[in-house]
Structure 1
């Protein structure tokens, strides 16, 4: 495994961090190549983008999205020929592959690949990391305001059982439905990774009942759900641990609490992929290799407060990155699952069920 240390000389460190960027021509500013990055909002340090622009003598144009569904819809609508790097969640990779929306990666151009921890190499959702490279990982749980919610909730019942929150507004993410149906399935005893049509329908009915409650404040995108709780507009929401970590680190949600439901939840990986007809795929590979650099991987996690899959970055992680919020215990990890990909007819069936819930 390759490690980039702070003891390296400037020339060596630059070579490891930039890769083939050094071989790119240095055009006039008006002719600078452009990397079109399509990514979740507030998910990369602007300083990293500036660093990449300087090292590769290019310009990065960032466009943000709030859900995998939004990302996929834009790729289907022609975005696969507009963006150079996208950041889909792991279970979405096979779906994008089947639809011909992403391309195979040339690992010969990824000199920093071995910096990845072994458990993130050759994952089940993308054997041999053929189409994607891990970006960050984390967990899905529940965030709530203890000033409004009595007791110490431990399960998905805080979302689905009206007795646990009879009065205060709560929100639920809309997204693409996998986490949402999974949470309802877990509450019903089917497990977060439920895969039968009958289980999906039962989960959908439970969410339909949830929608009818007078204190249901509506569907929101995932990250804005936490924002509603921070602002006091909602008392409960599903949330990602890294989002909570960000606001804990900056002090904006110090009084909120986050937990992993006892019935089970999700451990996820967000990945980097190159759209099928990306205008600048070579530059896209350079960006992926840049993120795989040890220093850059650490800067990324220290900024967005999500756990890094980069083993070479671990010693440089600081602050909340060492907390239980970001690093689940062994007992908690046993209760977390990667969402299995859905393909073909099952994928279409699931989408039909989830679409009916949102209507």
Structure 2
């Protein structure tokens, strides 16, 4: 009898836990990247308690999940190459398109992507570019070259902020040198290491979460920055110009990914489906000032966002995605980055 009562009690406890779990959603997200009003809208619409922690780089996301946070969150928002890395590490769950009624709202070019073929673990969130912006009150010369960051003119020396993310910073440096990403060539890696170490003396800071603020405040006169952050900085009064350098710039897509062992898988899928509604996707775009990967958002977009120079690159310069390097090559890039940050 006691055994039966214990079993019944445990069953009730488990049922209670499940009921509680059904009312929650835990998000791991980039900072300043989703309007609180949209989270509140989802919470009210589905009677779900939403919590969110933030990170400032793809590498920080990976490190945190590896350190034991996997199983604590339902969804994360990794960049394109990080989706592949997380999947290779066994950190992503999968879903069927039929589990998302709005799956057909994904723009065609973002369905069968190399980092998640057929969209088995993620949906598109926003896409944009990474380059640099320059304060035109400080420097009035041409900014069509990555030399602004890696061999800057006198006016900008000691006044440059660089993103604190290895993937994008070293990729931009590789574009400057004209060498392949993920190269294993010893001479090319030595050149890359020498370039960033020599350029470091002309940089004022490493910072991702401050990339916009230092340009607005004037603490930096130039800096690597994401396109939406550049648009926001202009909107806050900074006299800056965003560059599309002739050597190339970085294009990326951030994605909402279903994490392995998500404690609230059903709510995670509801949230992903919610973000595929054109009006909701447009709310993110209007807030973050990037570009959506969802069909039908145009009627909901602010004119300033649709027409921003950051979202309308000129013909000529080419954008490239950051590649996920093989593990044996990645350790070489990690060593360069670690050496740079000493």
1:60 match: secondary structure: strand
Q: C-alpha separation between the residues in 2 aligned to 1:110 and 1:171? A: 41
Q: C-alpha separation between the residues in 1 aligned to 2:89 and 2:154? A: 42
> Residues 255-314 of structure 1: CA distance to partner in whole angstroms, max 9, x if unpaired?
111111111011100011122121111111111110001111111111211111112212
Match of 2:279 among 295, 300, 315: 295
Where structure 1 has 5 or more consecutive residues not aligned to the other structure, the ranges are: 1-26
Instruction: Tell me if 1:91 matches 2:81.
Output: yes
- Conservation of the 8 A alpha-carbon contact between 1:264 and 1:336: yes
Match of 1:331 among 315, 322, 326: 315
CA 166–272 in structure 1, closer or farther in 2 if over 3 Å, else same: closer
Residue matched to 2:232: 246
2:32 match: secondary structure: coil
Residue matched to 1:228: 214
Shift of 1:167: 4.2
Where structure 2 has 5 or more consecutive residues not aligned to the other structure, the ranges are: 1-16
Residue matched to 2:183: 195
> Residues 26-68 of structure 1: CA distance to partner in whole angstroms, max 9, x if unpaired?
x9x9887211111011111111101100111111101111111
Q: C-alpha separation between the residues in 2 aligned to 1:138 and 1:158? A: 21
Q: C-alpha separation between the residues in 2 aligned to 1:125 and 1:31? A: 30
Residue matched to 1:342: 325
Indicate the larger mover: 105-114 or 236-245: 105-114
Residue matched to 1:358: 341
Match of 2:168 among 179, 182, 206: 179
Residue matched to 1:6: none
- Conservation of the 8 A alpha-carbon contact between 1:140 and 1:239: yes
Shift of 1:324: 4.5
Q: C-alpha separation between the residues in 2 aligned to 1:201 and 1:130? A: 38
> Residues 234-266 of structure 1: CA distance to partner in whole angstroms, max 9, x if unpaired?
111100111112233xx3134111111111011
Match of 2:143 among 153, 158, 179: 153
Q: C-alpha separation between the residues in 2 aligned to 1:224 and 1:74? A: 21
Residue matched to 2:111: 121
Q: C-alpha separation between the residues in 2 aligned to 1:68 and 1:225? A: 16
Q: C-alpha separation between the residues in 1 aligned to 2:212 and 2:245? A: 17
CA 313–97 in structure 1, closer or farther in 2 if over 3 Å, else same: same
Instruction: Tell me if 1:139 matches 2:129.
Output: yes
CA 329–162 in structure 1, closer or farther in 2 if over 3 Å, else same: closer
2:246 match: secondary structure: coil
2:94 match: secondary structure: coil
2:118 match: secondary structure: helix
- Conservation of the 8 A alpha-carbon contact between 2:135 and 2:238: no
Q: C-alpha separation between the residues in 2 aligned to 1:282 and 1:166? A: 50
CA 104–172 in structure 1, closer or farther in 2 if over 3 Å, else same: same
- Conservation of the 8 A alpha-carbon contact between 2:242 and 2:310: no
Q: C-alpha separation between the residues in 2 aligned to 1:285 and 1:30? A: 17
CA 146–296 in structure 1, closer or farther in 2 if over 3 Å, else same: same
Shift of 1:342: 1.9
Shift of 1:149: 1.4
Note the aligned Cα RMSD (angstroms).
2.1
Shift of 1:328: 2.8
Residue matched to 2:206: 219
Indicate the larger mover: 289-298 or 334-343: 334-343
Instruction: Tell me if 1:47 matches 2:37.
Output: yes
Residue matched to 2:90: 100
Shift of 1:132: 1.5
Aligned pairs, how many? 324
Residue matched to 1:264: 248
2:296 match: secondary structure: helix
Match of 1:209 among 198, 209, 219: 198
Q: What is the TM-score with the length of structure 1 in the denominator? A: 0.84
- Please identify the structure whose Cα radius of gyration is greater: 2
Instruction: Tell me if 1:281 matches 2:268.
Output: no
Shift of 1:188: 1.6
